[in-house]
């Protein structure tokens, strides 16, 4: 799909959406439908922090909304998904990062300590999750948007809105 059909930037807010019936980005890529923005700041060492304000409209489910790309044996070292109003670690519904994420602006901070291979997640200033990374010294970068997941099903319409996104480093 042409980008303007699934992305808009109005008054400082990036709105991204996909439909469950959209096709993957390429036929060679088995992933689900996606509209995402990656921060073109590629890193392989140090401590990095993503900060942004996200908004997930009611009904979005079965979608990744933020991730850290790059790992030893996986494509990503962290993914945050939305299922039925809960922000979860990957598709693990037992690891709820924040319940009741729908229809409100929330501040998301994700700290990635590359050498220690761990991530710490904060929502609205509250520590919600610390998990080990998936290793590797391959380049990493932050991505945010909406990316349909085939596990656990997808809602017909999936969207996320983002504003005031920043990246900090301590190298």
Cα atoms found within 13 Å of the Cα of residue 27, Cβ hemisphere only: 0
Whether the Cβ atoms of residue 71 and residue 135 lie closer than 8 Å to each other: yes
Per-residue model confidence (pLDDT) at position 152: 63
Per-residue model confidence (pLDDT) at position 21: 86
| The pLDDT of residue 143 is above 70 | yes
CA distance 86 to 72: 28
CA distance 92 to 134: 16
**In the structure, what pLDDT confidence band is assigned to residue 40 with cuts at 50, 70 and 90?**
low
Topology of the domain covering 3-170? Jelly Rolls (2.60.120)
| The pLDDT of residue 149 is above 90 | no
- Domains of the chain, by residue range, sit at 3-170
**In the structure, what pLDDT confidence band is assigned to residue 26 with cuts at 50, 70 and 90?**
low
**In the structure, what pLDDT confidence band is assigned to residue 52 with cuts at 50, 70 and 90?**
very high
With 0.85 as the threshold, say if the pTM is over it: yes
């Amino acid at each position: 799909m042409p980008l303007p059909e699934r992305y808009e930037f109005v008054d400082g807010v990036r709105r991204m959406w996909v439909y469950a019936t959209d096709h993957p980005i390429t036929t060679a890529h088995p992933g689900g439908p996606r509209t995402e923005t990656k921060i073109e700041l590629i890193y392989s060492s140090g401590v990095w922090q993503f900060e942004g304000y996200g908004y997930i409209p009611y009904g979005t489910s079965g979608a990744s909304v933020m991730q850290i790309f790059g790992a030893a044996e996986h494509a990503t070292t962290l993914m945050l998904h939305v299922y039925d109003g809960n922000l979860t670690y990957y598709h693990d519904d037992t690891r709820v990062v924040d319940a009741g994420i729908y229809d409100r602006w929330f501040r998301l901070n994700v700290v990635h300590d590359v050498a220690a291979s761990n991530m710490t997640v904060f929502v609205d200033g509250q520590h919600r999750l610390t998990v080990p990374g998936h290793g590797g010294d391959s380049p990493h970068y932050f991505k945010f948007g909406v990316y349909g997941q085939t596990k656990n099903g997808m809602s017909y319409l999936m969207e996320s809105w983002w504003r005031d996104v920043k990246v900090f480093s301590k190298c």
